[in-house]
Amino acid sequence: MNIYAEPEGARTGDRLRYLARDIRRQSLTMVHRAKVGHPGGDLSAADILAALYFSALRVDPQRPTAPDRDRFIMSKGHCCCALYTTLAMRGFFPFSDLADYAQPLSPLNGHPNRTKVAGVEANTRPLGHGLPVAVGAALAAKLDGAAWRTFVLTGDGELQEGSNWEAAMAAAHFGLENLTLIVDRNRIQQGAPTETIIRLEPLAEKFRAFGWAVREIDGHDCTALSDTFAAVPFEPGRPNCVIAGTVKGKGVSFIENRAEWHHHVPTDGELAAALEELKGGLDR
Ligand SMILES: Cc1ncc(C[n+]2csc(CCOP(=O)(O)OP(=O)(O)O)c2C)c(N)n1
Ligand SMILES: [Mg+2]
């Protein structure tokens, strides 16, 4: 039985918060077991993924390749543990498969592969490719006159890749109001703050100057996330950008805002302490 199966009318902010907590718990457990992963970014993206898969996206786990499905591209593919967990919770594959993450011959590789995992829409590892792929998908839907939408989640450090800005120009040029970019704005990339490495600010103004409709929200407020995703398109004829203000490592005191937790593997003691702080999901 899938304990996350959605009861009618239960898509409240509270429920999404519980789901996000379980995404955090399970992601940390997977990184600990496999001794590889990116827990800081898994934790910052958990609420965004819960709101997408349990509120916004029109997907059917029983028909993962249905032509009319919404597409979601996890451009920050290093945070695959959060993505795999969310897909399993939503019913794309058994929750028990998550135990095989990053084991030899497991389809759940250290970065997502669309040919191996139901629900994964694009292979992502090299940063800067998810948004260009999403622009192509959204343009295809528009040319076909199809109603499905495309959502893509990037990291903020990832936006330093120039390919994103070429894609941003193209999205506005083609008037892709069916495209929504979510930026996980946790202000930390690998090893240091974004603003120290190559600054992004003023980020919202940059996207507006490129012709996008932009909203800045709290990326851990599940109600705000769900309401914002429900409000797309924000303006006719413009692609949508949601800058989700987040905390890298959100939910665990000794992981929050610590750059080294970008890819630190928790020790036995750290995992136990983290799970203790993250009590209160649906599985407890
Ligand atoms: C083109 C490319 N360069 C470098 C890397 C290695 N890398 C993986 S994650 C990461 C940092 C990403 O930071 P950010 O986009 O802010 O992600 P988050 O904070 O959400 O984890 C880097 C440099 C990569 N995957 N691709
Ligand atoms: Mg970041």
pTM of the model: 0.97
Q: What is the pLDDT of residue 4?
A: 83
- Between the CA of 263 and the centroid of ligand 2 the distance, in Å, is 12
- Between the CA of 66 and the centroid of ligand 1 the distance, in Å, is 31
Which residue has the least CA distance to atom 26 on ligand 1?
Answer: 126
* Per-residue model confidence as pLDDT tens digits over 21-71: 999 999 999 999 999 999 999 999 999 999 999 999 999 999 999 999 999
Pocket test for ligand 1, best of 129, 158, 198 (most atoms within 8 A of CB): 158
Mean of pLDDT values over 236-264: 98
Which residue has the least CA distance to atom 8 on ligand 1?
Answer: 78
Closest ligand (CA of 44): 1
Q: What is the pLDDT of residue 5?
A: 74
Q: 16-47: string of b/e by CB count within 10 Å (b at 16+)? A: bbbbbbbbbbbbbbbbbbbeebbbbbbbbbbb
- Between the CA of 10 and the centroid of ligand 1 the distance, in Å, is 35
Amino acid at position 117, single letter: V
Tell me how far CA of residue 255 lies from CA of 225, 246, 271, in angstroms: 23, 13, 11
Q: Which atom of ligand 1 is nearest to the CA of 184?
A: 20
Cβ pair 101, 113 in contact under 8 A: no
* Per-residue model confidence as pLDDT tens digits over 147-203: 999 999 999 999 999 999 999 999 999 999 999 999 999 999 999 999 999 999 999
- Between the CA of 111 and the centroid of ligand 2 the distance, in Å, is 17
Backbone angles phi, psi at 239, to 5 degrees: -65, 155
Tokens of 259: 């750059």
Closest ligand (CA of 45): 1
Which residue has the least CA distance to atom 7 on ligand 1?
Answer: 190
pLDDT confidence of 282, banded at 50, 70, 90? Answer: low
Q: How far apart are the first and last CA of the chain?
A: 15
Cβ pair 56, 230 in contact under 8 A: yes
* Per-residue model confidence as pLDDT tens digits over 86-138: 999 999 999 999 999 999 999 999 999 999 999 999 999 999 999 999 999 99
Residues lining ligand 1, Cβ inside 6 A:
38, 40-41, 44, 76, 78-79, 125-128, 155-158, 184, 186, 188-190, 248, 262
Full set of structural domains in the chain with CATH: 13-277 (3.40.50.970)
Average pLDDT value over all residues in the chain = 96
* Per-residue model confidence as pLDDT tens digits over 201-249: 999 999 999 999 999 999 999 999 999 999 999 999 999 999 999 999 9
- Between the CA of 55 and the centroid of ligand 1 the distance, in Å, is 27
Tokens of 183: 């930026």
Q: What is the DSSP string of 169-210?
A: HHHHHTT-TTEEEEEEE-SB-SSSBHHHHS---SHHHHHHHT
Rg (CA), the chain: 17
Strand partners, 182: 153, 242
C-alpha closest to that of 159 among 38, 76, 73, 272: 76
Q: Which atom of ligand 1 is nearest to the CA of 158?
A: 15
Q: Which atom of ligand 1 is nearest to the CA of 79?
A: 21
Pocket test for ligand 1, best of 76, 153, 164 (most atoms within 8 A of CB): 76
CA atoms of 27 and 208, how far apart (whole Å): 34
Tokens of 30: 């997977």
- Between the CA of 144 and the centroid of ligand 2 the distance, in Å, is 35
Tell me how far CA of residue 78 lies from CA of 31, 175, 178, in angstroms: 11, 30, 26
- Between the CA of 38 and the centroid of ligand 1 the distance, in Å, is 10
Q: What is the dihedral of CA 13, 231, 72, 100, to 10 degrees?
A: 0
